[in-house]
Amino acid sequence: MITYATVGTNDVKKSEAFFTSLFETQGITKIFDHPRGGMMYGKDGKIVLGVLSPFDREAATVGNGSMVALGLPTREAVDAFYAKAIELGGTCEGKPGERGPNFYMSYFRDLDGNKFCACKIG
């Protein structure tokens, strides 16, 4: 069972603006600033995602084949979340659509190139 995920950033201020605006569409807010640099986001007292400067102080890089999937309540929410990510400067990795029986997905990259999936399963 996954509790939360983290992605690296090379620009905490840009990432904070991107994710704060994007996540507010789903009622997810910044829970706290991480002491190492970055922030933790959550909902209902549970952490969802950390956006952090790497622990080793080296440049943050994206993992080829790595992705964070964020479950949303409806297909319309997937469409809106994806559109907001693109509006905020994210890049398209796959527009919203049916990817299999009861798998409605969209894919985008954040400002650092980290890949995300906004999805409605079921």
Question: Which CATH architecture best describes the domain 5-55+66-121?
Answer: Roll (3.10)
| Residues in the chain, pLDDT under 50 | none
**Distances 12 to 29, 55, 108, 122 between C-alpha atoms, Å:** 16, 14, 19, 35
Q: What is the pLDDT of residues 56-72, one digit of tens each?
A: 989 999 888 899 999 99
pLDDT averaged over the chain? 95
What predicted TM-score, i.e. pTM, was given to this entire model? 0.89
Backbone angles phi, psi at 87, to 5 degrees: -60, -35
Supply the DSSP symbol for 22. Answer: H
The ranges assigned to domains in the chain are 5-55+66-121
